[in-house]
Chain A
Amino acid sequence: MNTYSEHDLREAFSSLASTEPAPGDVWGPVRSRIARRRRVRLGMATVGVAVAGAVVATLSGSGPGSDRVVPAGADTPARLTLAPVHALSPAEREATAQVLRQRLDAAGLGRVQLTVGADSVELVVRPSDLDLAGLLTERGDLQLRQVLAVSPDAGTGGVTGPIGTATDLSAATTLLERGDCAQPAPAGPPAGGADGAAAPPPGSYLVACDAASSLKYLFAPSALGSSAVTSARATLDPVARQWSVLVTLSATGAEAWHSLTAQAARQPSLARCSASPAGCNAIGIVIDGRTVAMPSVQPHGGITGGVLAIPLGDAPRVVAEGTAADLTTGTLPVRLNKVTACRAGCPADG
């Protein structure tokens, strides 16, 4: 079994830590957090005065009985506000509400207050459920794409994520060779899709960067995706103590998954496949444009049984449960962008 040296390990950490923000890039967000904390503290002080006033009024019998003052604290609901990338039509509003309600039910948040308007979506949740609620509002678009080629990125300070899509292999190969991970390619449709969706068009080739390893990947068009999923559930590997999502595919999906993995199994590994016309033995599992896993298929053939495991690495349980709920209920018709996530001391309206 081959091993790595201490030098290799130090080099790996050096490549992970090769990017550096300008000082202003750090100071700006930190200053914003400080300013926000000052505002929250001021707000809490105001509430405190109001509560004291209400207590005094009640004891003295002079206050109006219908007035209620809600103290800020653990029971104060959190509020998540999102904006669709374009105004929702009545049909899109209905579909968005239906998918979100199904996801909330599936995740055990059935009592969450959900409001879907043409220009905004709002969820009022317990503060402890705010992170899960955020995950449930992801678009939930799954794409399974074979890796066709790998190329080192010559630049520095690159991003992790898609840098472009192309409708034909020649253009995609050019993008792989010339695309700069620090500057997403201007040519071709946007990597996130022309309709404002987070996911790239499933029928296009996709080029994505991994900043940590300074590598670019070329992915084939998606062989199957969200429509092939019948259910998904979070599961914990008791040995590795890592969460993954087990996806059960429809009969058609299972057939497509077997074909995809059988084709990939015959190809060389990621380190040796750049010259291979039929690509590599790895499959990119892409959710909302992010490559969440890239498992290699063992050479003994395609995967049967119609079950797909998505490893989530260090992800906590809430991510696995949120992802499972997203995949079970299908995609949202339109991507929702987070506007505000207020965990404590939220204003009564929006």
Chain B
Amino acid sequence: MREETERDFREFVTARSGPLFRLACALTADPHHAEDLVQTALFKAWRSWHRVRSADDPDAYVRRVMVNAATSGWRRRWRGEVPSDRLPELTSSDPVDLVGDRDALVRAVRALPAKQRAAIALRYFADLDDPAIADALGCSVSTVRSQISRGLATLRVRTDRDCLSTQESM
């Protein structure tokens, strides 16, 4: 029985570790931290494997565990390079500048508070809708929207929704 459970769990790890790792990279903005996060989430999933397996959406269960670990307590420990907190005034077609632009935006994403980064990653990387993000973060939909709004303002990102609303009001 134990061997069967372990084989079942191992198959899940093999099938899902790639997507989970990519999401962890987006949540943490650090591949080393992401590795640790995926291992932690999968280990916790193993501890409740019978519940995870019988859940309607095992992926959502593990994702919730991972998001919770990424946004709480010691998991948010600092690792590696931390950027300066100012975005340079750049937007240009010059390849050298584009390197700077991407670098600056990635750095700014890394500098966001963990919950804002998680909310933005779940919407713009994982393409989840707001109720699913709220479920993953364990908060209300309105909190999700305010977290994303604050994060986008910090990043100075103008979204497609902004453009649509601007066009509609014209």
Q: Which A residues have a C-beta under 8 Å from some C-beta of B? A: 1-6, 8-21, 23, 25-27, 29-31, 33-34, 37, 131, 150, 152, 160-161, 210-213, 215, 240-241, 269-272, 274, 282, 290-296, 311-316, 318-319
Contact = CB atoms under 8 A, between A and B. Distances in A.
A293 B100 CA distance: 16
A108 to B, nearest CB: 18
Contact of A212 (B38, B100, B110, B160): B110
Interface in B81-116: 81-86, 88-91, 96-97, 99-107, 109-114
25 contacts: A3-B157, A4-B101, A4-B105, A5-B159, A8-B101, A8-B102, A9-B120, A9-B157, A12-B106, A15-B106, A17-B25, A21-B21, A25-B35, A27-B13, A160-B31, A161-B80, A211-B31, A212-B29, A270-B100, A270-B103, A292-B81, A294-B84, A313-B82, A316-B73, A319-B78
B157 A271 contact: no
A213 B13 CA distance: 28
Nearest to B127: A10
A271 B106 contact: no
A37 B78 CA distance: 26
Nearest to B114: A314
Contacts of B83: 293-294, 313
Interface size range on B against A = 35 or more
Given A1-B89, A271-B97, A292-B81, A21 B35 contact: yes
Contact of A272 (B76, B81, B97, B159): B97
A211 B32 CA distance: 10
Given A272-B97, A316-B74, A9 B14 contact: no
Interface of B: 10, 13-14, 17-18, 21-23, 25-26, 29-32, 35, 38-39, 42-43, 46-47, 73-74, 76-78, 80-86, 88-91, 96-97, 99-107, 109-114, 120-121, 124-125, 152, 155-160
A29 B39 CA distance: 7
Contact of A5 (B89, B114, B125, B158): B158
A289 to B, nearest CB: 11
A313 B110 contact: yes
B164 to A, nearest CB: 11
Contacts of A316: 73-74, 76-78
B14 A16 contact: no
Given A3-B158, A212-B29, A316-B76, 11 more contacts: A1-B156, A13-B125, A14-B125, A19-B25, A26-B13, A131-B77, A215-B103, A269-B88, A272-B97, A293-B84, A316-B77
A291 B78 CA distance: 12
Contacts of A13: 26, 109, 121, 124-125
Contact of A282 (B84, B91, B155): B84
A29 B157 CA distance: 37
The 4 A-B pairs of least Cβ separation, nearest first, read A271-B100, A315-B78, A313-B82, A26-B17
Given A4-B105, A5-B157, A150 B84 contact: no
A265 B23 CA distance: 38
Contact of B105 (A8, A241, A269): A8
